[in-house]
Amino acid sequence: MSVYAVTNPATGVVEATYPTATDADIQVALGHTGDAFGPWSTTAPGKRAALLARVADLYEERRDELAAIITREMGKPIFQSGKEIAITAAIYRYYAANGEKFLSDEELDVATGGTALIRKEGVGVLLGIMPWNFPYYQVARFAAPNLMNGNTILLKHAPQCPESALAMEKIFIDAGAPEGAYVNIFATNDQVAEIIADARVQGVSLTGSERAGSAVAAIAGANLKKVVLELGGSDPFLVLADADTKRAAKQAMFGRFGNTGQACNAAKRIIVDASIYDQFVGDFTGAVAGIKMGDPSVPDTFLGPLSSAAARDGLDAQVQDAIDKGATVLAAGGPVDGPGSFYAPTVLADVTEEMRAYTEELFGPVAVLYKVEGEEAAIELANSSAYGLSASIQTQDMDKAHEIARKLEVGMVSINQTSASAPELPFGGVKRSGVGRELGKYGMEEFVNRKLVTFRG
């Protein structure tokens, strides 16, 4: 039986299965992407941009169809699915509008005379290994800038997202992409290792777990291939003594429970100054109590099921470990009886270092609150994690916010807002949250050959 299947997490029913690629299929895909690289890399940037603009159009035209697919595949509430389509289209349109400018030659000063240029060119076939939690958006972050660079794409999606994977491939075909520019593969992990080792493949981009990133980086390193890794996060949400607690609580609720808490940059550790802790707890648990959980296909549902029964059970084991070791439950949730992998919103406090919830990423609708005495204690706790993706600071003092932002060991800081994403803003972390950046002009610079050209006369 294929591992690529649509198992509706709202019902637990397997709705469709798809065959895993054979080794021969993988060789054909490598051949097509390898053959396409030369013509595509020498295609005028304006024509590459035109393809991306047409891809953006098709995402917008097919919004309802595409949104319904991921709601069924991974349980995303339908309103949030629609918003994912919107930002996905915006990413393709951003690189269509700006990619040619980002690829322009850069002139260098030459002390000994003459002229020198840096010319940015594609490097070859790239393998993208993508997660299930944002099926379209994550692919766009990788595919859009790299197609604009002139690279060609092999896309290996999560096994529970076969229909969205095929829908994306069809969009590229219908947009007029040349054969081999973007190829979907339903590959196994063993096949992925062989693909990375193949001489035609020049780089790998993975968004996923720390374990998967370590495994892919090891194979890529052994074969001298560059990687971009966007991995886990345990992002701190700092609420300082002067913060507006009602506003901060509302932002923390959306930042933690959006996408059913299944986001790498969710507000997973909410660190609150002791002077306003009790007020914040009341505001936050009140906001959490107002969350509507239910059928993800209903437009006003905010919290859907977790992506799978295994994800639900794994999260519950982490929560139970914390409770068994003395954590306080401020809002009781947990697994919901009945079909599907629903998990009611849960809020924990008094989480200590011996608990799994202190060091592990909680990928689901569970928030952890910490009470601290002062800003330095908040910074110390925020930096105590092995992860370093993003952080949020809630305060009315902008000078203080910028000072704290400089001290936080993360790749992104948001002040008086939740961690978010936009096509023009670079996305990525430090420490065990990964390496490299996606989106913005920096997303164009990861997989390019910065070719030096010097000349006189």
Positions annotated as catalytic residues are 230, 264
Which single residue is written with the structure tokens 């506003």? 247
Which single residue is written with the structure tokens 């509706």? 8
Amino acid type, 313: D
Cα 102 versus chain centre, distance: 23
**Strand pairing class (346-349; 235-239):** unpaired
Gyration radius (Cα) of the chain, Å: 23
Residue 44: how many CB atoms within 10 A of its CB?
9
Query: Residue 381: which of 406, 358, 348, 397 has the closest Cα?
Result: 358
Residue 443: how many CB atoms within 10 A of its CB?
29
Q: Which residues pair with 153 in a beta bridge?
A: 126, 182
Residue 416: how many CB atoms within 10 A of its CB?
16
Tokens of 203: 């780089």
CB 255 within 8 A of CB 288: no
Q: How far apart are CA 169 and CA 73, in angstroms?
A: 17
Q: How far apart are CA 149 and CA 116, in angstroms?
A: 21
Query: For 414, how many CA atoms within 13 A lie in the half-sphere containing its CB?
Result: 24
Cα 110 versus chain centre, distance: 40
Q: How far apart are CA 355 and CA 40, in angstroms?
A: 52
